[in-house]
Amino acid sequence: MGDAERSSYFPPLPALGPPPEREVMLPPPSSPDLAAQRLPSAPPPAAASPEAASPDAVLPIAPEPTLVAPTGPNVSPALGTLRPSASPSRTSLDAGRGSISPSRLSLGPSRTSLSPRRRSLFDLSHNPSTARPTVSILPPLPFARGASWSSFGLVGLLGIIVVFLVVRWTGALEGMARPAVGKNVTAAARMDEMPWFPVPTRTRAAKPAAEVEQKEDEGARADAHLRRTGRSSLSRGVFFLPPTFASADGGFDLVLFFHGNTDLAEEGMILSGINAAVVIFNFGNGSNAYEERFHDPSRFTDTLLRVHDELRSRGLEKPHVNRIALVSWSAGYGATQGILQQPKLADLVDAIVVLDGMHAGFIGDGPEIAPGSLAPFVSFAERAKKNEKLFVLTHSNVEPVGYASVARSADYLLKLVDVPREKVEGETFLPAYASLSGVLPQDELVTLKQRSQAHSGSLIIKGYGGNQANHHIMHLVQFPDTAMGPLVERWMKK
């Protein structure tokens, strides 16, 4: 059959537009006459002869056809007639062989759904050489480029934050992040020349380990091969050894410092001339974060064991702790209170130094102080009066909301232990910190002025003027001068 003859069986297609929502019914693939159907050259009889059909005439299938019912004398009855169904949105095809289920083939408003399996079998049965695979005519899904880049950026940002926290927490890359503290501060050998030390003799006795006389057999000293430089991560804190640390027999004193800028606290400990290992902890804001940390006594003893292991790994032979001091600033007093609440742990503590902390609670909304809110500190103060312990407290006149100020709490404690407070006048000195830059603006760096003091045995409470935030911060900045002297002197004694 020629091209002219074949074309007469198909009416011209109209201009393509949005396809209507239709469903087209094909004869079932099991029909024995389907594979043999061909377009005849003239109107066929009731049953078309399979042998007479041309093998080249195969029913074409367009990707998205617009179906129009053919008219005229050349319409093949074998192809059936198009007639409207009960639904106005689709047309059913009757091939004279019974009703065909509409679910077999559907033309939606946006795509043509032809069964890939059935179409492939139909094409292969007619002409395998010309059969082509069925390809989806659906448009590709748009690539959400903005969303993908946003996801990559978020993952990258989280990675940077994690790396920063790990480096900050563990002290990794310490040499690149900041110079060694020992190089930024006045050498221990010159500390006695600094005028702000109230008792210069205490620093002369706390000599750097390098200046401690060695015995003829260097291996006899426990610290002969001790590595003193660098920080270590320990129990969510930062461990370091000041240059004045020395131990001939492996015994050592330990300072646990709670709350405050790590660099500032480390440098302050170095400037104080203390001969002790130091661990600095920062658990967040609020005293509850510190107090709850040590509700479980095993956490305190675990910290001691980790310090023991750290010193041994640094080269100290036969390490063992001699005395323990708890130093805290601001909210860090919660850790001291949590430890002192447990009598067995309180017995292990030799000294506490509280820097503008220790707040009593109110009965209801106040202003009356709850009697038992300072019980651990009161018990420790009673022992300090007898020189069994050391208790040093400094305070400002800052008035908080919701609980008693440190000044009022100190007055309440002094009343319970029956120690009077007297007025004094005194000047303080600003230590030569290398890490002080950025802590406070230059115009807010004001030195504290002492206004009162209470002293009985080893209980020492100092009151300083100032009721602003910068005065509160200066208690941390100036603690080597205002608070550390009694502790260094006490531990110089064997």
Those residues whose C-beta lies under 8 Å from the C-beta of residue 149, and which sit 6 or more positions away, are none
The residue-averaged pLDDT of 291-314 equals 93
pLDDT tens for 325-372 read 999 999 999 999 999 999 999 999 999 999 999 999 999 887 899 989
**Lowest mean per-residue pLDDT among 91-105, 242-256, 347-361, 464-478:** 91-105
Of 493 and 56, the one with more pLDDT: 493
The residue-averaged pLDDT of 103-124 equals 45
User: Could you give the percent of the chain with pLDDT greater than 70?
Assistant: 59
198 has pLDDT over 50: no
What is the band of 148 on the pLDDT scale with cuts at 50, 70, 90?
Answer: low
Q: Residue 357: which region, alpha, beta or left (left: phi > 0; alpha: psi -120 to 50)? A: beta
The residue-averaged pLDDT of 124-130 equals 49
The residue-averaged pLDDT of 23-46 equals 48
pLDDT tens for 364-394 read 887 899 989 999 999 999 999 999 999 999 9
| Residue labelled with tokens 């009703």 | 99
Question: Helix, strand, or coil here: 158?
Answer: helix
Torsion over CA: 160, 163, 169, 172 (sign): negative
* Predicted local confidence at residue 185, as pLDDT: 35
Report the amino acid identity of residue 486.
P
**Lowest mean per-residue pLDDT among 87-96, 289-298, 430-439, 466-475:** 87-96
pLDDT tens for 411-466 read 999 999 999 999 999 888 887 788 887 788 888 889 999 999 999 999 999 999 99
The CATH code of the domain at 185-492 is: 3.40.50
Inter-residue contact 480 to 268 (CB < 8 Å) = yes
40 has pLDDT over 60: no
Q: How far apart are CA 127 and CA 57, in angstroms?
A: 10
Domain(s) of CATH 3.40.50: residues in the chain: 185-492
26 has pLDDT over 80: no
For 209, half-sphere exposure in the C-beta direction (CA atoms, 13 angstrom radius) is 25
Strand-pairing partners, residue 326, are: 256, 352
Q: How far apart are CA 451 and CA 18, in angstroms?
A: 91
* Predicted local confidence at residue 422, as pLDDT: 96
For 46, half-sphere exposure in the C-beta direction (CA atoms, 13 angstrom radius) is 1
Tokens of 330: 């601001």
Question: Helix, strand, or coil here: 238?
Answer: strand
316 secondary structure, DSSP code: -
259 has pLDDT over 50: yes
* Predicted local confidence at residue 310, as pLDDT: 97
pLDDT tens for 199-253 read 344 444 444 444 545 544 455 899 999 999 999 999 899 999 999 899 999 999 9
* Predicted local confidence at residue 156, as pLDDT: 83
Question: Helix, strand, or coil here: 444?
Answer: helix
**Lowest mean per-residue pLDDT among 13-27, 94-108, 411-425:** 94-108
Angle at 302 between CA 297 and CA 306, to 5 degrees: 155
Tokens of 421: 């407070």
127 has pLDDT over 70: no
What is the band of 291 on the pLDDT scale with cuts at 50, 70, 90?
Answer: confident
* Predicted local confidence at residue 416, as pLDDT: 96
The residue-averaged pLDDT of 101-129 equals 46
pLDDT tens for 295-305 read 889 999 999 99
Tokens of 181: 């503290």
Question: What is the chain's length?
Answer: 494
Pairing assessment for the beta strands 449-456 and 422-427 based on DSSP bridges: antiparallel
**Lowest mean per-residue pLDDT among 35-39, 137-141, 226-230:** 35-39
81 has pLDDT over 70: no
